[in-house]
Structure 1
């Protein structure tokens, strides 16, 4: 049975799952959920994703939600195909991966997603951007990326010299910083810019960046 992803083609978290599928050569069927019509809040959806958020997957009857959890599951289930060691198997390497993954969750996502919410999602909904909030988030994210610069001056990727899920997790919201008017944050630090150019030009991301 083909893996089914219940989500929206342009959703950040749906594309986070899709890019991992591309890295691991996993065929999938996108079951399109119309967010504008509120299909993600319908009982038929929330019986599988109680928070009413996209995406969730159906892997031959196994239901799983939360994009990072899905990514870990797929990377482990299909460990032998596609890009290897998206989750390293050796104990210390895995610990460094988890450190990098936690870094994305704590030190990148809240600020990047906050900027995107204010500058892109609010506008789409006809709401007014809180520019003071955007400025605060941009200052914080720049400070975090200064620490990224230190890390990436010593190694190619966030967990070492091989790409992992921790790097890929940055792609959906990071790619929206430019449309949000803050793409320079990923370009002003040379090693961050080198890393960002690398991961955004991976064939997996190029395949899903405009839609899962």
Structure 2
């Protein structure tokens, strides 16, 4: 069984849990209390030197960074659950293209919004609404491009769902969008049983 060390509500921990659900991989969550700073304890940092969640222990194999963990689990269990990463070289290249879009044209902006709208209130701080609006303005042309891509295909990498699509799930809620193709895509991926099982916590 995969041992997942993280915080149930964290976006990155939920991504790993989501992939476990998609691939029918049993996992055991060991809770790391971010509010108490447990991720900065010496024993944790000895394993995850950046003091961030999550990391996994897969029968002694330690791995951190949620996207790396997701790729590892998908490739280790290719015949379980949904494929999520294509094996054909061209299809895999299109997946990598979509994964880069998610990382650099979406999450790079939305993570700042999450920090302001989610994490600051949890610490009793006021969100910087001006900063949120700046980030949303920067995100607008990115979402225009998303809608264009999704007007031509069902998912970001083609007509099969991949990790590139699923990586949006835990933070998309901070972005309200009514573009028709984006709305269709979001309704599709957010109704997947694996996501419904972890959306409120890993």
Fold conserved (TM > 0.5)?
A: yes
Match of 1:111 in 2: 109
The residue correspondences of 1:80-119 to structure 2 (distance < 5 A) are 80-84=79-83, 86-119=84-117
More displaced, 37-46 or 90-99?
Answer: 37-46
The answer to whether residue 26 in structure 2 is matched with residue 34 in structure 1 is no
SS class of match (1:128): coil
Q: Deviations over 1:71-90 (max 9, x none)?
A: 00000000111112x11000
Q: Deviations over 1:160-204 (max 9, x none)?
A: 0000000010011113x1xxxxx422xx10000000010000000
Name the CA distance, whole Å, in 2 between partners of 1:153 and 1:35.
40
RMSD between superposed Cα atoms in Å: 0.8
Unaligned runs of 5+ in 2: none
From 144, 147, 153, give the equivalent of 1:146.
144
After TM superposition, where is structure 1 displaced by more than 4 Å over at least 4 residues in a row? none
Unaligned runs of 5+ in 1: 178-182
The answer to whether residue 202 in structure 2 is matched with residue 204 in structure 1 is no
What TM-score comes out, normalization by structure 2 length?
0.98
Residue correspondences, number: 202
What TM-score comes out, normalization by structure 1 length?
0.93
Name the CA distance, whole Å, in 2 between partners of 1:64 and 1:83.
22
Name the CA distance, whole Å, in 2 between partners of 1:114 and 1:38.
20
